[in-house]
Amino acid sequence: MSYEEISKVHKELGKLIEDSFELRRKIAREFATQKGIPLRDLASGNVDGKTMIEFNRHISNNLGGERAKNIPKDVGIER
């Protein structure tokens, strides 16, 4: 489901997802630049496992729980 579709149902959550997507894109560009690897290779997984783990950790550290705090209270999350 795209953030546009989610926005039709819940505008606040749709906007949060859109912002999160844009932030992930920015973080990925920064990480690729720092590591000197093409963004396309990073996005497609054409990098070694260690780099992929570092990238996922980098995303996690930069998005972290701060984004989770912004999830609207009326949105339930099932795990």
pLDDT tens digit sequence for 15-36? 877 888 888 899 999 999 999 9
Helices (H) and strands (E) in the chain, counts: 4, 0
- Structural domains of the chain, count: 1
- Which of these, 32, 26, 29, 27, lies nearest to 51 by C-alpha position? 32
As a whole number of angstroms, the distance between CA 70 and CA 50 comes to: 31
pLDDT score recorded for residue 62? 82
**DSSP assignment of 2-42, as one string?**
-HHHHHHH-HHHHHHHHHHHHHHHHHHHHHHHHHT--HHHH
Residue 77 within any structural domain of the chain = no
Band (pLDDT 50/70/90 cuts) for residue 66 is low
* Enclosing domain of residue 11: 3-67
Residue 39 within any structural domain of the chain = yes
Residue 78 within any structural domain of the chain = no
pLDDT score recorded for residue 71? 62
Placement of tokens 């959550």 in the chain: 13
Band (pLDDT 50/70/90 cuts) for residue 49 is very high
Residue 14 within any structural domain of the chain = yes
Specify the pTM: 0.66
